[in-house]
Every structure is written in structure tokens, then in C-alpha cells.
Structure 1
């Protein structure tokens, strides 16, 4: 299936915001905050006088608001030397398998879609959009054979250990944990009971700039108080969000996303839930991770969109890295396996 064949990949008709290599970190943070954009591709400044033709890819990386803010808080300065995320684009005629491979083998949240002739970014394929597309295969044997298994049968990266902090710790500590562990969300647990009471995500960092008091008191304000400050964000209706589908997936690049759950209402699942149930849970809430809890709401682990995508991704030609369950089983049924970067027949 081509990327252009499914409306899960559509975005708004607004032009994609770009940053230039010459922009300072301060300016980049200010621009993304002002335009309400979560992240943007970085375009290299090419000297037209010394460059002929249009054969060069104008983009050299991707940068997001949360990473820049965390960098500034941790490093203590708006340094010019900043390591941005890699840039792995696709074209409209690329297949879903190509997108699955990129999202599963690289720690990226979305894949830019480039126009064939202009080499300009025109859209983004989000992890959530891919999950929604995969769910359209519900009822088909190849999908259900994996998706109908309970979470307890999978070995996700952090399914038995979720990074967390206690509600009486400070916002500054939560920011440090997000930065140090390079994660999208940190669970908030009540110290006395070990029960999950909320979570802080990278998407919530804009609140530090929305409210000067929060920013200035980030070292003393507790996380438990912080997660209850979203008075303006009402509890959303997941059925409405499900109907919006592609719009929400495209909107995930919006910095202030009103469709995300409140910080005090994290997405949760049990180990007895199936992978399909968890996929639907995240697709409906537009979240990137679900915390695994027991019957007492005690934190037991976490499963991310990437964990799910890996189960359906093509196998890597590096045989040391396991591919997705669907493709591994398909290779096994055809009597083949990957060895030292080569497809080998067992017959």
C-alpha cells in the first residue's frame, strides 16, 4: 500500500514549518512556541551560487520543542551545538512496509513525507496514524494472529519496568528524568501506595512557558500539584477522537494538543488485555504509551506505540536484531531466515 493510498497520512493544507541551520536555539524555541508547532525539519542553507541543480536533499535533521527546552534546562545555556534527530523521509509512493521499517528500527516519532519534485516536506506520518491503519486489518488472520495475543505473551522493551517518580518530587526532577532517559512520558506514582496517579509527557513542557510561576517554581512545585493544573483541558470523549482519526494523527505535531488526555488521567492497560485492545486504547486517546497496571492500579510496566509497531515491522537485514512477529512467522512458513544480512533458504 502506498503512503498516498490512505487518508490516515493526510495533514492540513498549511505549509510545514521549517527551521534553518543558522537559527539559534533560542529563536527556534520561540518560533515553535509562537506557531504552536511541536517540531520541525531543519533545512540546510545552500549557497545557490556554488550549487547547481536540485539534487541535494535540503533537510539534515528534525528538531522538537520538548528536546530543546530540556536541553536548555539541563545544559544551562542556549548552545549553538545541538544534536538534532535524524531525518528519514518517505515519498508518497513509498509503501507502508517502508514506513514500518523506519519507525521500528529508528527511535523517531514520525516520518516526514517529501514531495517528489520539490523535495519539500509536505506532511508527516505519525506512529498513531500507522497504528490506526494497522487496526483496519482487524479480522484478517495475519493481523489477528498477533494482535489477539495478551500483552503478557510479548516481551516489550520496558514492559516490566516503567520509569517513574513520586508525586512529592519536583517538576524539575521530572524534567531531568525525561531528559536523562530520552523517554516521552514519565509515570507519577503515589509514594505510600505505589499507585499510578498520573504522568508527565514531553508534550506538557509548553506549560512551563505558558505560566511564569510554574517555570520559576519548577524546583519546588511538586509533580502531584502540577498534574492537576490543567483546568482548561476537559476530559475528552474517545469516541469523538476515534471519528476524527486522521485529523488527530496529523495534529500530533501541534504543540498544545487539546485532544491528549489530562496528566492526571494516564492511559492504562492490564497484562491480560490483548495487543489489539491496547492499540485501540492508544489510537482513541492519541497517546504514545500505555502504562501497565495491576488490579490495584500499581505500576508494573509500559508499552509504547513503537513497541506495537515492531511486532508488524519487516525484519532487519542485520540478523542480530529481531524483526516483527508477522514477518518472522512469514519467513519461517516459507522456509527462510535472515543470516548475516542475507535471505537464506532452509531447503
Structure 2
């Protein structure tokens, strides 16, 4: 992709950001004077005053760490993402050299799903070989059918998948490619063994995943920046986290996440400006910022891999599990739940037809004693914003579902939505305060 295409895509993305924020601003029933006062107040708060991450030290992951070990680190530290460092540039004073990106569960999901699709193509191509297509065409078929741009280890994956198919005597349709859920359904144990337990999961370096799936760019602010910049990046510009760099130095001083900001807002309870907004029902703030037919959900009877594919396709971090024609909510899936498939696939006995319902039951039984599995968090249209913030902060969740009668899901409120309620973007703010970092990002 050349730079002109990059610029076109960037322009289209910016339009999407503007449309989201225009919707937010048009639906808020708050006095303009209050919004201006709050925006001005956040613009006067330095980033350096924001609380540090727990323990005071940002968790970093070396670019040479395997995907398997990366998932373990994220899981053990109970975090969704971490900056990835180039150890060859460990002594550099330039953050652009030291940090190559951010790894999070969304990138890992993309990597797993692409690997699954390539495995399906390779296995299908094996059958095609018997039909006279030719073994040498397997790699080409994969690239053409999927437009593959993933890790270099994908070549090894295709070879391993073909080997597993031949050794196991698997019968695969002669179609030239299937999607990830179909692959999981039809290939059963061998699919999981190839994708998750053996290669390339254990050997692929996180560097390759970050290079291939840049869904979370490394876009830092300095300790001298203001909190309005951070809040805009986390809300309007859809960043899940914002690295903080001290001017003239390469090491991160902080890592501000959407969750940390919402916890910070919860800590403002009792202050006049917060209580004034928090007392409003969510409907007064235009929440949820979607119609009920825009809610992306998954039926409990569908395949678990389809749930992760749906999150990938819609660029979301979670979705409600529903049942029946009324779409009654019965559970919640987060993108981080893929760690259970990656780290403990042996606990899921029915690989061939692993449904969302079966997955949730197994995970619940695994984590019941640890208390990590909770029912989906819901609210009604007349719930106050303060109560929504309290639920998100106290239960450490990233979304709350708005339900009507009989627990029908009619909307979703995310951390991003909550942050958006407190600010607006002053004229030309993007060009004046975010332009430099954005240019650096595009030039990398």
C-alpha cells in the first residue's frame, strides 16, 4: 500500500471519528456552558498528574516473545494490552525505535482467525491436489483466496495443517477455502492441535503479529500534554490506551487506559461538576449511541469461533450472548476470553462443535472459585449515568448492556461512550495538538 492509499484510508477513518462524535454532541442534553467549562478544565490538567499504573511500572513485552507466552503475560497480569519493545534498540533514546507497537487481544484474535482460514485453505488444497490442482499451488491458493498478509510463520502453518490432514486421513471438501468457524467445525481436534497447541502458536514471535495486525497503534502523548488530548484519543479517536512518554526520553512513564479514566471519573463522585452530569438518566445523554438493530450479538447455540470472528469483523471488544426471538441476554463474551482457548484448549472436550453455550459453561466451572466470571452487567434506559459509571468501575467491565422488558438487549454502552459524555473537541484541536503524533504514526 502506497502513501496515497494510506492518506485515503486515514481520511475515511477520520470521517468515521467525526460522525461518531457529532452523534454524541447532538444527542447530549447538557448546557453548552457546562460542556465548555468541563472541556476547558480537562485541557488544564497535565497528563503527569494522572495516577500511575498499578505497581508504578508499565508491563512491556519483548518483540521476541512467543504468542503463547504473550497470552500468558496478558492473562496473568489481567491486562488487555501491552507495549512491545525492540530489544535490539533497548538503549535507544528515541521512543520510535524502542517501541514497535502495542499487542492486545484483538490483534491475537485476528492472527488466530487468519491462521484458521489459511489452515482451511491448505487442507482444502490438499484435497484439490488429489483432484489434479497440484501441491505447488497451495500457497498461491491461500494468498489469492484470502489476500493473506499475516505472519511469515503462516507458511509453516499451512505445511503443518497439510501434514496433519494427511496423517489423520481427514476428508475435506474440495472447496478452495473456508472461513475460521467452518474450519473449526469440520477439522475438529487436528485444527486445534495445529493452530493452538503446536505450531505456529508456540513459535511465532509477537513482532510478527504486531507488524501484520496494527489494530492498536503506538500513539503516545508526553507528560506535558493535557488530559483533554488523552480523553479525545480514548473516545473520539477510539484508542483503547494511550502511552505516556517523558519528553527527550524513550521509556514509558504511564499507560492510560479507558478503564483507568472511568475509574478516575468514579473517584470524582461528590464533586459538583461530576454529580451534575451523573444525576442525568442515560437517555438525557443520548445513550446508547446506537439503535437496537445495530447491536451486534451472538446466539448461545452458535460456534464460539464465530463469536470472535464477529468481534473482529465489527471492530468491537465484546458482545452479548442472546437466546430466543426476543434476544434475551444470557451472557457476555469479551475478546480477552480467547485466552481460554489458547492457554487451556484441553479443557474443551467437544472441539468439533464447541458452541458459545458450551464454552461459557466450561469457563464458568473453571473460574467459579476465583470469582472471575460474572453475569452480564445490564441497565435500563432510565438508569443514571452515575450508576452506569459505578457499575463499570466497580466490576471492572468494559461495557454495560441496556435492556428492555424480558431482558431484551436494546443497546450497549462502552467505556468510550462514557468518556465521550464529558468532553467535546474544540475547533482545530486535532491539527494543533494531535497532528504531530499522527504524522509520526503514518510515516512509520
In the superposition, the TM-score normalised over structure 2's length comes to 0.57
- Is residue 273 of structure 2 the alignment partner of residue 163 of structure 1? no
Q: Provide the rounded CA distance (Å) in 2 between the counterparts of 1:318 and 1:159.
A: 30
- Residues 157/63 of structure 1: CA separation in 2 closer, same or farther (3 Å cut): farther
**Which residue, out of 66, 71, 79, partners 2:151?**
79
Matches for 1:1-347 after TM superposition, within 5 Å: 1-7=45-51, 9-13=52-56, 16-20=59-63, 23=64, 27-35=65-73, 36=76, 38-43=80-85, 54-55=93-94, 57=96, 58-76=98-116, 79-80=151-152, 82-84=212-214, 85-153=216-284, 154-158=286-290, 160=292, 161-191=294-324, 193-213=326-346, 217-218=350-351, 220-229=353-362, 230-234=364-368, 260-262=372-374, 265-317=375-427
SS of corresponding position for 1:278: helix
Maintained 8 Å contact 1:113/1:123: yes
- Residues 86/220 of structure 1: CA separation in 2 closer, same or farther (3 Å cut): same
Maintained 8 Å contact 1:150/1:274: yes
In the superposition, the TM-score normalised over structure 1's length comes to 0.72
Maintained 8 Å contact 1:32/1:65: no
Maintained 8 Å contact 2:95/2:251: no
SS of corresponding position for 1:296: helix
Q: Deviations over 1:203-249 (max 9, x none)?
A: 111000232246785551111121122223238xxxxxxxxxxxxxx
Q: Provide the rounded CA distance (Å) in 1 between the counterparts of 2:232 and 2:253.
A: 21
- Residues 142/31 of structure 1: CA separation in 2 closer, same or farther (3 Å cut): same
Q: Provide the rounded CA distance (Å) in 2 between the counterparts of 1:56 and 1:13.
A: 19
Maintained 8 Å contact 2:60/2:85: no
More helix by share: 2
Maintained 8 Å contact 2:303/2:355: yes
- Residues 146/159 of structure 1: CA separation in 2 closer, same or farther (3 Å cut): farther
Maintained 8 Å contact 1:32/1:39: no
Of 147-156 and 287-296, deviating more is: 147-156
Q: How many residues align?
A: 287
Q: Provide the rounded CA distance (Å) in 2 between the counterparts of 1:290 and 1:82.
A: 31
More strand by share: 1
Structure label with greater radius of gyration: 2
Maintained 8 Å contact 1:100/1:312: no
Q: Deviations over 1:49-76 (max 9, x none)?
A: xx9x835533242121342233322353
SS of corresponding position for 2:235: helix
Over aligned residue pairs, what C-alpha RMSD do you find? Answer: 3.0
Structure 1, unmatched stretches of 5+, are: 236-257, 321-347
- Residues 88/261 of structure 1: CA separation in 2 closer, same or farther (3 Å cut): farther
SS of corresponding position for 1:227: helix
- Residues 135/15 of structure 1: CA separation in 2 closer, same or farther (3 Å cut): closer
Maintained 8 Å contact 1:169/1:223: yes
Q: Provide the rounded CA distance (Å) in 1 between the counterparts of 2:385 and 2:89.
A: 50
